[in-house]
Structure 1
Amino acid sequence: MPTAPPSGAVLLLDIKGGIGPATRDYLRSGLKRANEEGARAVVLRIDTPGGLDAATRDINQSILASPVPVIAWVAPEGARAASAGTYILYACHLAAMAPATSLGAATPVSMGGPGAGPERAPDEPRGQREAPAGNAPATGPSPRQEPRDAMSRKAINDAVGYLRSLAELRGRNGDFAEAAVRDAATLTATQALSQGVIEIVAGNTDQLLRQAHGRKVRLAQRETTLDLVGQPVTVVTPDWRARLLAVLTEPTVAYLLLLIGLYGLVFEGYSPGAILPGMVGAICLLLAAYGLQVLPVNYAGVALIVLGVALIAIEFAMPSVGAAGVGGVVALVAGSLILFDTQVPGFGVPGGLIAGIGGATALVFMGMIWLASRARRQPVVSGQEELIGQLAVATRDFDGAGQVHIRGEHWQASSAVPVRRGQAVRVLALDGLVLRVAPDEETTPPH
Structure 2
Amino acid sequence: MDVKTNRSKPRLASAFLLLGVAVASLLANAGGGYRAGAQEVTAQLADDSPASTSTTTVRQEPSDRSDSLPGTDTDPSLDPAWLDDKRIDVVKVDGVIDPVTASMISDVLEQADSLDVTMILLQIDASGALDVDVAKLTDQIRASEVPVLAWVGPSGATASGGAAELVAAAHLNAIADGATIGDPVPSRLDRTSASDQASDRALLEELLAETGRPSDWMSAAADGGLDADEAVASGFIEQKAVILGEAIVGVDGASVDTRAGQVVLSTARTITDETTGVRRLSENQQIRFLQLGLAQQLQHTLVSPRVAYLLLISALALILFEYYASAVGLASATGALALVGAFFGMSHLPVNTWAVALICLAFICFAVEVQAGTLGPYTALGTAFVALGSARLFSGPAAVTVPWWLVIIGTVATVLFVVGGMTAMVRSRFGTPTVGREGLIGREGITQSPIAARGIVMIDGAPWRAVTNRARPLAAGVAVTVVGIQGLEVEVEPVSLED
Q: What's the TM-score once normalised by structure 1's chain length?
A: 0.66
> Is contact 2:128–2:189 with CA below 8 Å preserved after alignment?
no
Equivalent residue runs for 1:195-344 within 5 Å? 195-220=234-259, 222-229=261-268, 230-271=284-325, 274=328, 276-318=330-372, 322-341=376-395, 343-344=397-398
Cα deviation, 1:285-307, whole Å, max 9, x if unaligned, reads 22221111012322222121111
**Residue identity in the other structure for 1:160:** R
Residue of 45, 56, 71 corresponding to 2:149:
71
CA shift in 2, pair 1:91/1:263, >3 Å: same
> Is contact 2:370–2:423 with CA below 8 Å preserved after alignment?
no
SS in 2 for 1:40: strand
CA shift in 2, pair 1:327/1:169, >3 Å: same
CA shift in 2, pair 1:272/1:46, >3 Å: same
CA shift in 2, pair 1:195/1:111, >3 Å: closer
CA shift in 2, pair 1:99/1:111, >3 Å: closer
The whole-number CA distance in structure 2 between the counterparts of 1:156 and 1:54 is 15
**Residue identity in the other structure for 1:27:** I
The whole-number CA distance in structure 2 between the counterparts of 1:164 and 1:260 is 44
**Residue identity in the other structure for 2:266:** D
Cα deviation, 1:325-358, whole Å, max 9, x if unaligned, reads 221121112111111236243x343433332232
Matched, 1:163 2:199: no
Matched, 1:405 2:454: yes
The whole-number CA distance in structure 1 between the counterparts of 2:374 and 2:86 is 67
The whole-number CA distance in structure 2 between the counterparts of 1:325 and 1:36 is 62
Residue 360 of structure 1 is matched in structure 2 by 413
**Higher relative contact order structure (alpha carbons within 8 Å, sequence separation ≥ 6):** 2
Cα deviation, 1:395-439, whole Å, max 9, x if unaligned, reads xxxxxxxx9724569xxxxxxxxxxxx9xxxxxxxxxxxxxxxxx
Residue of 198, 201, 216 corresponding to 1:175:
216
Structure 2: state its 5+ residue gaps.
1-80, 269-283, 436-451, 459-468, 470-499
> Is contact 2:91–2:289 with CA below 8 Å preserved after alignment?
yes
Superposition deviation, residue 162 in structure 1? 1.4
SS in 2 for 1:31: helix
Query: What's the RMSD between the two structures over aligned residues?
Result: 3.8
Equivalent residue runs for 1:67-106 within 5 Å? 67-106=145-184
The whole-number CA distance in structure 1 between the counterparts of 2:422 and 2:228 is 60
The whole-number CA distance in structure 1 between the counterparts of 2:128 and 2:340 is 27
CA shift in 2, pair 1:69/1:241, >3 Å: farther
CA shift in 2, pair 1:68/1:273, >3 Å: same
Equivalent residue runs for 1:142-161 within 5 Å? 151-152=193-194, 154-161=195-202
**Residue identity in the other structure for 1:282:** A
The whole-number CA distance in structure 2 between the counterparts of 1:406 and 1:162 is 90
CA shift in 2, pair 1:40/1:319, >3 Å: same
Superposition deviation, residue 5 in structure 1? 7.8
Residue 184 of structure 1 is matched in structure 2 by 223
Residue of 22, 40, 45 corresponding to 2:118:
40
The whole-number CA distance in structure 2 between the counterparts of 1:283 and 1:237 is 25
> Is contact 1:215–1:225 with CA below 8 Å preserved after alignment?
yes
CA shift in 2, pair 1:314/1:65, >3 Å: farther
**Residue identity in the other structure for 2:312:** L
The whole-number CA distance in structure 2 between the counterparts of 1:223 and 1:164 is 24
Q: What's the TM-score once normalised by structure 2's chain length?
A: 0.60
SS in 1 for 2:402: coil
> Is contact 2:369–2:379 with CA below 8 Å preserved after alignment?
yes
SS in 2 for 1:174: coil
**Residue identity in the other structure for 2:404:** G
**Residue identity in the other structure for 1:354:** V
Superposition deviation, residue 168 in structure 1? 1.0
> Is contact 2:161–2:184 with CA below 8 Å preserved after alignment?
yes
SS in 2 for 1:16: strand
Superposition deviation, residue 96 in structure 1? 1.4
The whole-number CA distance in structure 2 between the counterparts of 1:254 and 1:301 is 13
Residue of 370, 386, 402 corresponding to 1:349:
402
Superposition deviation, residue 164 in structure 1? 0.3
The whole-number CA distance in structure 2 between the counterparts of 1:89 and 1:219 is 16
The whole-number CA distance in structure 1 between the counterparts of 2:454 and 2:434 is 19
> Is contact 2:178–2:227 with CA below 8 Å preserved after alignment?
yes
Name which of structure 1's ranges 290-299 and 217-226 shifts more when overlaid on structure 2. 217-226
Superposition deviation, residue 380 in structure 1? 12
SS in 2 for 1:37: coil
SS in 2 for 1:214: coil
SS in 2 for 1:6: helix
Give identity over the alignment, percent: 27
Structure 1 stretches of 4+ with a deviation exceeding 6 A read 109-112, 368-372, 378-382
CA shift in 2, pair 1:105/1:369, >3 Å: closer
> Is contact 2:231–2:237 with CA below 8 Å preserved after alignment?
yes
